């Protein structure tokens, strides 16, 4: 049994080295959107190079929009596309993947479809160092 563990440790070490070249050094964030909430509400990316996968299990179109840290949006009508770090639109039943880069920090996430923010579609993204 011991040689097998040693081999696994070696393979694991090689995989780790293979991941440190920068090309795959990203944070994966998975969010499910529904009518009318984000699950989970708060997500964390370990890296500012974020790959987000949004799955829409709701009956209508939604989006997962990360706001710039200085943007303040309390109702859907206040949203302007210039306020967004990234906006991922997802049709009902679809899964969308998008990659973006943002500095470490805490960001507000909303759905900008009119009325959806007010219905409870807001959350948080925290990006670590
Ligand atoms: Cu929505």
The 10s digit of each residue's pLDDT in 91-117 is 999 999 999 999 999 999 999 999 999
Strand blocks (E) in the chain: 27-34, 37-39, 42-45, 49-56, 62-67, 84-90, 95-101, 105-110, 122-127
**Cα separation of 76 and 122, whole Å?**
11
pTM of the model: 0.80
Nearest Cα neighbor of 54 from 24, 25, 89 is 89
Cis status of the peptide bond prior to 34, with omega within 30 of 0:
no
Mean pLDDT of the chain: 86
Q: 80-86, long-range: CB within 8 Å, 24+ apart, which pairs?
A: 86/52
Domain 25-127 matching CATH 1.10.10.10: the answer reads: no
pLDDT 10s digits, 66-96: 999 999 999 999 999 999 999 999 999 999 9
Tokens standing for 16? 């780790």
State the distance from the centre of ligand 1 to the C-alpha of 64, rounded, in angstroms: 8
State the distance from the centre of ligand 1 to the C-alpha of 26, rounded, in angstroms: 26
**Cα separation of 70 and 115, whole Å?**
22
State the distance from the centre of ligand 1 to the C-alpha of 102, rounded, in angstroms: 23
Phi, psi (degrees; rounded to nearest 5) at 116: -75, -35
What residues are paired with 98 via a beta bridge?
Answer: 52
State the distance from the centre of ligand 1 to the C-alpha of 103, rounded, in angstroms: 25
């Amino acid at each position: 049994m011991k040689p097998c563990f040693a081999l696994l440790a070696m393979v694991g070490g090689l995989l780790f080295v293979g991941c440190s070249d920068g090309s795959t050094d990203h944070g994966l964030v998975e969010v499910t959107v529904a009518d009318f909430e984000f699950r989970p509400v708060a997500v964390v990316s370990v890296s500012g190079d974020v790959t987000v996968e949004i799955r829409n299990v709701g009956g209508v179109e939604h989006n997962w929009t990360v706001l710039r840290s200085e943007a303040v949006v309390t109702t859907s009508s206040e949203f302007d596309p210039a306020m967004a770090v990234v906006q991922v639109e997802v049709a009902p039943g679809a899964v969308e993947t998008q990659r973006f880069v943002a500095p470490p920090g805490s960001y507000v996430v909303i759905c900008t479809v009119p009325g959806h923010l007010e219905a409870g579609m807001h959350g948080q993204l925290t990006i670590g160092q």
